[in-house]
Structure 1
Amino acid sequence: MADWVEEGKKAPAFTLAADDGTKVKLADLAGSPVVLYFYPKDDTPGCTKEACAFRDQKKELTKRGAKVYGVSPDGVESHVKFRDKYQLNFPLLADVDHKVAEKYGAWREKNMYGKVTMGIQRSTFLIDGSGKVAKVWKRVQVDGHDQKVIEALDELLKK
């Protein structure tokens, strides 16, 4: 199990399939801040709430030049249904073999009612325009998280 990617370190490179059929490559996003958030599963209560919060903040995030990407182990077909059901306005990336989640440290041991499994730990990484991790949120609480991301973007843009 990989450790969390640390703030100030280079963000691990990745190329993942997006819900629109394209491939998203971190290297192609240089120059803009990237909000990369890992979530456990499409169309579940917490994940839906988090995705809709980022959807509703699209204007604020775009104003700060940020691109948002949601990542889960669900496949592209699942992402398309999730995106369309909630009119999500940012790409969802399919990390079906959870290799990218592992690189970032978001693939963790989880203990649910005494049953230990491996899965996505809800987490967000703010990557600056040069590809460095500016901020890491581990074990994200959904309520108010979108606002914390915007505040961190504001701090990043002041630098």
Structure 2
Amino acid sequence: MPTPVKLAVGDPAPALDLPLAGGGRVTLEDLRGAPALLWFYPAANTSLCTKQACDLRDNHQMFLDAGYRVIGISPDPVPELDRFTAEQDLPYDLASDESHQVMEAYGAWGEKNMYGKLVEGVIRSTFAVDAEGVLSFVKYRVGTPKHISLLQEKLGL
């Protein structure tokens, strides 16, 4: 398996062009001019991912007030993201990366330990991208229970 990418604050955000739940697409160019929060998660409608999604939902106004567009990215197909959005009443965009290309570019896809077994999959990660497309926050292996407090501290929210 190739060595995974490890991005750092100050790196340019890798390009992305992904289909969105509800239709349309999102590209890095679409995000220019305002900050964005990209969070990569393994699977819609699983316990930890749902907790993380709902924590972001419940704190979404805080991100909006700071000018952030929030986008969740997973390998789920768009119909599954549509269902997740509807069932959890998510107010932000979810994007589908079935090929894992964007996840690999961000270092959010690779080998991880799951229940004592090494597997390849999504590495739960969060990135803040500034208005110019530069990474202003990078966190790999995000701990779901502390995700919001970490973002509040590191992004000054």
**Range into which the TM-score falls when normalised by the shorter chain:** over 0.9
Which residue is 1:43 aligned to? 45
> What's the CA shift string for 1:17-76, capped at 9, x where partnerless?
000111001111111111000000000010000000110111111000001000000000
Which amino acid is 2:108 matched to?
Answer: A
Question: Do the aligned residues in 1 keep the contact of 2:35 with 2:69 (CA within 8 Å)?
Answer: yes
Instruction: Confirm or deny that 1:124 pairs with 2:134.
Output: no
Measure how far apart 1:107 and its partner are.
0.3
> For the residues of structure 1 that align with 2:151 and 2:115, how far apart are their CA atoms?
30
Which residue is 1:106 aligned to? 108
Measure how far apart 1:151 and its partner are.
2.8
Measure how far apart 1:116 and its partner are.
2.3
Q: Calculate the TM-score normalised by the size of structure 2.
A: 0.94
> What's the CA shift string for 1:67-104, capped at 9, x where partnerless?
10000000000001111000001011000010000000
> For the residues of structure 2 that align with 1:6 and 1:100, how far apart are their CA atoms?
16
> For the residues of structure 1 that align with 2:136 and 2:57, how far apart are their CA atoms?
22
Measure how far apart 1:111 and its partner are.
2.4
Alignment of 1:19-30 (within 5 A): 19-30=21-32
> For the residues of structure 2 that align with 1:57 and 1:114, how far apart are their CA atoms?
33
Which amino acid is 2:6 matched to?
Answer: W
* Worse-matched range after superposition: 143-152 or 33-42: 143-152
> For the residues of structure 1 that align with 2:114 and 2:143, how far apart are their CA atoms?
16
Alignment of 1:76-87 (within 5 A): 76-87=78-89
Which residue is 2:16 aligned to? 14
Determine which of 62, 73, 80 is the counterpart of 2:64: 62
Measure how far apart 1:112 and its partner are.
2.3
Question: Do the aligned residues in 2 keep the contact of 1:64 with 1:154 (CA within 8 Å)?
Answer: no
Determine which of 71, 74, 94 is the counterpart of 1:72: 74
Which amino acid is 2:146 matched to?
Answer: G
Which sections of structure 2, spanning at least 5 residues, go unmatched?
Answer: none
Q: Calculate the TM-score normalised by the size of structure 1.
A: 0.93
Which sections of structure 1, spanning at least 5 residues, go unmatched?
Answer: none
Kindly report structure 1 stretches of 4+ aligned residues shifted beyond 3 Å: none
> For the residues of structure 2 that align with 1:122 and 1:152, how far apart are their CA atoms?
17
* Worse-matched range after superposition: 146-155 or 121-130: 146-155
Tell me the percent identity: 40
How many corresponding residue pairs? 155
> For the residues of structure 2 that align with 1:142 and 1:113, how far apart are their CA atoms?
17
Which residue is 1:134 aligned to? 136
Which residue is 1:92 aligned to? 94
Measure how far apart 1:114 and its partner are.
4.0
> For the residues of structure 1 that align with 2:97 and 2:34, how far apart are their CA atoms?
22
